[in-house]
Structure 1
């Protein structure tokens, strides 16, 4: 019985250590990303391209079903370190991409 308890305790300790290490790495990455310059919400496509240059890839606009007022077209531009999302011609969000596929965080965009 003591052997099983000790085995479980060691296993849990190793797993907890791995999770803590992953969390620490993600926290460190977020802290270093705070220095990354991203497009500001409300900036136009022309302003983003003037400040950050041409994106590595431009994705076509995607709109939801129904009226354009309720489901406006959303366009995504991909840069090396971040993605920019536009509603019509203005930035609604900019998101930093993962450093590695195994990094914990939001699921990557599938094309």
Structure 2
């Protein structure tokens, strides 16, 4: 039978064993989690910068071009969406880019991301 003294004053864990290993692992895990977003953000930034340089001189419809000019220069789109809303917004999908129109005028051309495996 255990004495009342033993239950009120349990012996402390041995110094330097499990406690320091667990706390060290927790500190290492916390540090790794703090660095992970920065490492991933840096990894994403570089390819985007390279793509911006690659597509800087890409021939795409420019703001103000008409639908008929876009179709005569780039051919028929793969897909047409819209018009939707007021003012009417339409989208034309081409293999490498998307064109957004307000009414019959280009307001935006966007390069489509190329998914690499």
Q: TM-score, normalised by structure 2?
A: 0.68
Aligned to 2:107: 92
2-side partners of 1:16 and 1:98: how far apart?
23
Note the C-alpha offset of 1:20.
1.2
Residue 31 of structure 1: how far off its partner (Å):
2.2
Gap regions ≥5 residues in structure 2: 1-22
Q: Measure the CA separation in 2 of the matches of 1:96 and 1:9.
A: 37
Aligned to 2:93: 78
Other-structure match for 2:80: 58
Higher helix share: 2
Q: TM-score, normalised by structure 1?
A: 0.71
SS in 1 for 2:91: strand
Q: Name the count of aligned residue pairs.
A: 94
Shift of 1:15: 4.0
Cα distance, 1:74–1:10 mapped onto 2, change above 3 Å: closer
Structure 1 match to 2:49: 27
What RMSD over aligned residues (CA atoms) do the two structures have, in Å? 2.0
Structure-1 residue corresponding to 2:67: 45
Between structure 1 and structure 2, the one with the greater Rg is 2
The question of 1:18 aligning with 2:33 is answered no
Gaps of 5+ in 1: 64-70, 102-111
1:106 is matched with which residue?
A: none
**1:12-57 residue CA offsets vs partner (Å, 9 max, x unmatched):** 3344322211122222222222121211111111111111111111
Equivalents in 2 of 1:38, 1:48: separation in Å? 9
User: Does the residue aligned with 1:24 lie in a helix, a strand or coil?
Assistant: helix
